[in-house]
Structure 1
Amino acid sequence: EREPDKWCGWGGGAPVNVSWSDLEDSEGHVYAKASQLYGALPCTLCLLIVRHLFERYLATPLADVWGIRDKVRRTVEPNPTLENYFCSQARVPSQADVRSLCKKTSWPEKRVQVWFRRRRNQERPGLRKRFCEASWRCVFYFFAFVGGVLALYDKPWLYNLKEVWAGFPKQSMLPSQYWYYHLEIGFYLSLLLRLTFDVKRKDFKEQVIHHIATLTLLSFSWISNYIRIGTLVMALHDFADVLLEGAKVFNYAKWHQTANAMFVVFTVVFMLTRLVIFPFWLIHCTWVYPLEQFAPFFGYYFFNVMLLVLQILHLYWAFLILRMVYKFIFSKVCSQLVLLCSQGLFIRK
């Protein structure tokens, strides 16, 4: 019969017959604790401050050097009726509302539509703001990936995924894992806090889901001592993100050939890491290998469900990426065909 103080982990986060007392620091072994997650809060604050200083004193001067300028947009003429509708009801009025607004303002329909178009343009973030944000993310992901490689390159579980579960959950925490986790949690928490102030992208809702799922996954993996697999997941994600943000930076700087080349490399890396390695190596590692040592428990199901949520987002973003690649290739082919046709007509003439 099971001892009274033994229960199904901390809330089901660990296998049966593992309790808090089993993971108390002793004999040089140090284990992750839930209270240590509070350390991510000052880390988040530091990253927000570093980001502000980086964007102001590094990214902005770099934008000046590369000649990145915001487009001059025409301001709309003051109109309280249209402004009230824009702020309280819709940014893009329906045809029926346009006709109604025409009656209220005594403006022609085309003038009302132009007003709304220019008003929406005023709300769009400038190119320099996009450049600064992409530069910050690119720099962070680069250093995070390098830090992840340094923390993992000499670990046996990088080369043999079965080592991820060797001795689980009694796996001593390493200092490199502590800092790697806290930096990543602090970074994603800072992104979540800045979502309403940063450039609002088309996949805004998916970004919110991604950040919340990532923070939940990182926090739960820390509490449940799933640290080894957690560091592998973080390093795998950071690799592709460096290339994506780098491609954005060069695109904003109008280094289009460099940006296109980097985007192609990013596409290949994304498909390989997010659609092959992540599901068939890492999720397989968390789904199959633990069952060789212990029976399924709540933490096992919860962790794998969160990984599957990330995988669904990967599939969604892969669709968007492939659509962009298709449009890029198709536009290039069409332009070449137009050029060849025009040359042929010129020769015939």
Structure 2
Amino acid sequence: MLQTVGKWLWWDHLWLPRNVSWSDLEDSEGRVYAKGFHLYAALPCALGLLLVRYLFERYLAIPLANVWGIRDRIRLTAEPNLILEMYFCTQARAPSQADVRSLCKKTSWPERRVQVWFRRRRNQERPGLRKRFCEASWRCVFYFFAFVGGILALYDKPWFYNLKEVWADFPKQSMLPSQYWYYLLEMGFYLSLLLSLSFDVKRKDFKEQVIHHIATLTLLGFSWISNYIRVGTLVMAIHDSADILLEGAKVFNYAKWHGTANGIFVVFTVLFMVTRLVIFPFWVIHCTWVYPLEQFAPFFGYYFFNAMLLVLQILHLYWAVLILQMLEGDDRSDEEEDDDDSSKERNHKLSHTNGAGARGRANGH
């Protein structure tokens, strides 16, 4: 039964153009093709990257944080209260004014005390500044080296300059060593991000990040097995280019170099809009949607690959909205709240004036 399912799952006509079979992609005449079992190396690569990340954060990021004076803020702990804790965990982290009054009756606490409890409890859930700095530093360094490696693997290839070359002799395109290592590192990295979700900073777009990582791994895995490697390397390089600046902006923001962070974030915004909302849909997706039909009739793999690219494009549109909100200074989800009793009046005033001064910030995504 499993053999029958396996044969159906890897049916040639599902994943390959007509008149092409998996036997045509067997190594021969000096040509080496990508194989599914090559992807098994992504798991040990992911574990290795987690080890490298640990060493990087411990011996490079933390000492750098010390040099720049990055310290976790001393937080006041919310006093134990089962009623408020139950509400916080099951209903809302920030109760409405009506719910605050209801909770006051249940706990016999004054309104200000309840509000202070929720501020302190929310702050307890926020990751420390040093943890955020270390994570952003690691991602920035990885994206930088991945992008440089990608450019080195692509700059002398004809399909880097002429997208029609992506499909020249497809699918009988021999695998290059540079493509293998580029794919392996990228897949290992995104797999490591999935493995580390439980202890990484949980962001506002957590669900979208999970969808992105799974879609990316699915896309990379399928493109490897079906020999869509050329376009796969282009997609990876496009994504890494902007991610370097985003993580770099966060690094400088946590170090309180706000002018530098704001400048980098503006450049990131421009690069993100150009690469993700212009080049990716109108060059890359156009390349995968239009050019193959000049050689082959549509097949399931063609639709599947383009569907995964469209999922990424939808996420790009979602993140573009978040980025514009941050550029306008409307997002403060990563900032801690004052949690002492005397801060209530000041917070109340600030909540009515937050929109007055728009500042470009890279703080939380």
Scaled by the length of structure 2, what TM-score is found? 0.85
What is the letter of the counterpart of residue 121 of structure 1?
A: N
- Residue 86 of structure 1 corresponds to 88
Q: CA deviation at 1:271?
A: 1.0
SS in 1 for 2:47: helix
Rounded Cα–Cα distance in structure 1 between residues aligned with 2:147 and 2:12: 31
Is contact 1:9–1:15 with CA below 8 Å preserved after alignment? no
Quick check: 1:280 aligned with 2:282? yes
Alignment of 1:101-140 (within 5 A): 101-140=103-142
Q: 1:34 to 1:99 in 2, by over 3 A?
A: same
Q: Secondary structure at the match of 1:12?
A: helix
Q: Give, in whole Å, the separation in 2 of the partners of 1:281 and 1:39.
A: 31
1:300 aligns with 2:302: yes
Kindly provide the amino acid, as one letter, of the partner of residue 267 in structure 1: T
Alpha-carbon distance between aligned partners in 1 of 2:321 and 2:189, rounded to the nearest angstrom: 26
TM-score of the pair, normalised by structure 1:
0.89
Residues 53, 285 of structure 1: alpha-carbon distance in 2 compared, 3 angstrom cutoff: same
Match of 2:24 in 1: 22
| Paired residues for 1:211-250 under 5 Å | 211-250=213-252
Secondary structure in 2 matching 1:26: coil
Write the distance in 1 (CA, Å) between the matches of 2:11 and 2:157.
Answer: 26
Partner of 2:346 in structure 1?
A: none
Q: 2:83 and 2:313 mapped to 1: Cα distance?
A: 46
Alignment of 1:236-275 (within 5 A): 236-275=238-277
Aligned residues: 329
Write the distance in 1 (CA, Å) between the matches of 2:322 and 2:125. 24
Specify whether residues 108 and 11 from structure 1 end up closer, same or farther in structure 2 by C-alpha distance, changes over 3 A only. farther
Q: 1:225 to 1:145 in 2, by over 3 A?
A: same
Q: CA RMSD in A?
A: 2.3
What one-letter code is carried by the residue in structure 1 that aligns with 2:34?
A: A
Residues 10-36 of structure 1, C-alpha deviations (whole Å, 9 max, x = no match): 361110121121111112111111111
Q: Give ranges in structure 2 of 5+ residues lacking alignment.
A: 1-6, 331-352, 359-365
Alpha-carbon distance between aligned partners in 1 of 2:92 and 2:298, rounded to the nearest angstrom: 50
In the TM superposition, residue 334 of structure 1 has moved relative to its aligned partner by: 6.0
2:245 and 2:92 map into 1 onto residues whose CA distance is 36
How far is the alpha carbon of 1:327 from its aligned partner?
Answer: 3.9
Aligned partner letter, 2:207: K
What is the CA deviation profile of residues 165-196 of structure 1, one whole-angstrom value per residue up to 9, with x for unaligned ones? 01111111011111110111111111112223
Name the CA distance, whole Å, in 1 between partners of 2:250 and 2:227: 36
Report % sequence identity.
81
Assess, with a 3 A threshold, how the Cα gap between structure 1 residues 320 and 85 changes in structure 2: closer, same or farther.
closer
Aligned to 1:142: 144
Residue 292 of structure 2 corresponds to 290
Q: Describe the superposition over 1:250-274 as per-residue Cα deviations: whole angstroms up to 9, x where unpaired.
A: 1111111111111111111111111
Structure with more of its chain in helix, by fraction? 1
For residues 201-221 of structure 1, give each alpha carbon's deviation from its aligned partner in whole angstroms, at most 9, with x where no partner exists. Answer: 111111111111111110110
For 2:334, the equivalent position in structure 1 comes to none
Instruction: State the Cα deviation string for residues 106-157 of structure 1 (Å, max 9, x = none).
Output: 2223212211221111111111111000000000000000000011011111
Q: Which amino acid aligns with 1:231?
A: T
- 1:312 aligns to 2:314 (yes or no): yes
